[in-house]
Structures are given as C-alpha cells and as structure tokens.
Amino acid sequence: MNTNDTPFRILAVCLGNICRSPLAEGLLKRTAAERGLLWEVDSAGTGGYHVGELADPRSRAIAAQYGLDITDQRSRKFSREDFDRFDLILAMDRKNYADLRSLTTKEEHRQKVVLLLDYVSLKEETGPDVFDPYWDDSGFEGVYRLLERAASRVADRVVEQTSK
Ligand code: 4NP
C-alpha cells in the first residue's frame, strides 16, 4: 500500500482506446481495489479515431463475461499533458511505445513510458505486444486473460518500487 495520501497515477495506452487499453484500465482498477492500493487509473489512445465512443462492444462483452463493467469509459486521445499527469504510462505494443516516446524529448517524460509486457516480465513468454484484436473477434478472450495477468504483475512491481 502507498505510504502517503498521494495516489499513484497509471495510464494505459493503445491505438484506438476502445479495445485493449479500456480492458487494461478496468483490470488495473479492479486490481487496485482488491489490494487496497491508492491508484488513479485512466486510459487513452495514440489515435483519435474513436474519441468519445464507448469501448468496443467485444471488449465490453468479454469484460462483462468476467464480471468487469467498463461501460463508464469513453475513448480519448493521448495528450502531451498526460506526461505530467501520470507516473507510469503503459504502452500495449511497440508501435504505441514508439509513438508515445516520439511525442516528447524530455527524458523525465520518456522514462515514464514502458512497454507493458516488458515491464511485467511477460515478454519472453508472450512476445512484446498485447495483440490488437480489432480485426479478429477471436482475440478478445486471450487479450483479456493476458491483461489480467499483467495487471496483477503491475501491482507487484509498483508496490515494490513505491515502497523503496
Ligand atoms: P485498440 O484497437 O488500439 O486496442 O483500441 C484498435 C481500435 C481501433 C482501430 C485499431 C485498433 N482502428 O483502426 O480504428
């Protein structure tokens, strides 16, 4: 648990902010609630194609199947101000990671951006990218399960880092 009253702020980022990062946001929030962690969690997309929209119906459906409600979320585009607002920025794939880092030259900002599956040491097992299921209906369950594992490991790692 954080030792002070300042929340730790985490942003999950994918391309459209309708498929992967809304699931990551929901799972990170649930993980924080289960573990009593003082976190603020949000998500965004590097692209603005779906701004204002609900999460993709397939992401909402798989979340609901596992008892997770993400219907409060609306897609938004990543903004440079997010570099200051958040402590940790989790990129779902290598393209998201490169796009985010290209938006800033400040080392302080760049250090906040991590490739999720690398950050949680799942990369060797799963490959570096959270698969983009937008064009593949069958991909959503695997993405959900992977993000569930990753969220738990994010909690382990953040707790370890913030307790130092
Ligand atoms: P996401 O998936 O990045 O996981 O939200 C996508 C959503 C929309 C598009 C691509 C990927 N698109 O091309 O509109």
Amino acid at site 140? F
Instruction: Give CA–CA dist 67/75, Å, rounded.
Output: 21
**Tokens, residue 89:** 């920025």
> What is the pTM for the complete model shown?
0.96
Q: Is the CB of 15 under 6 A from ligand 1?
A: yes
Instruction: Give CA–CA dist 161/99, Å, rounded.
Output: 26
pLDDT the model gives residue 40 = 98
Cβ neighbors of 160 (< 8 A, separation 6 or more) are none
Q: Mean pLDDT by 10-residue block, N- to C-terminus, for the chain (164 residues)?
A: 78 98 98 98 98 98 98 98 98 98 98 98 97 97 98 97 84
Q: Which residue is closest in CA terms to ligand 1's atom 6?
A: 16
Strand partners, 45: 14, 77
14 is catalytic: yes
Distances (CA, A) of 101 to 21, 61, 110, 147: 17, 32, 6, 22
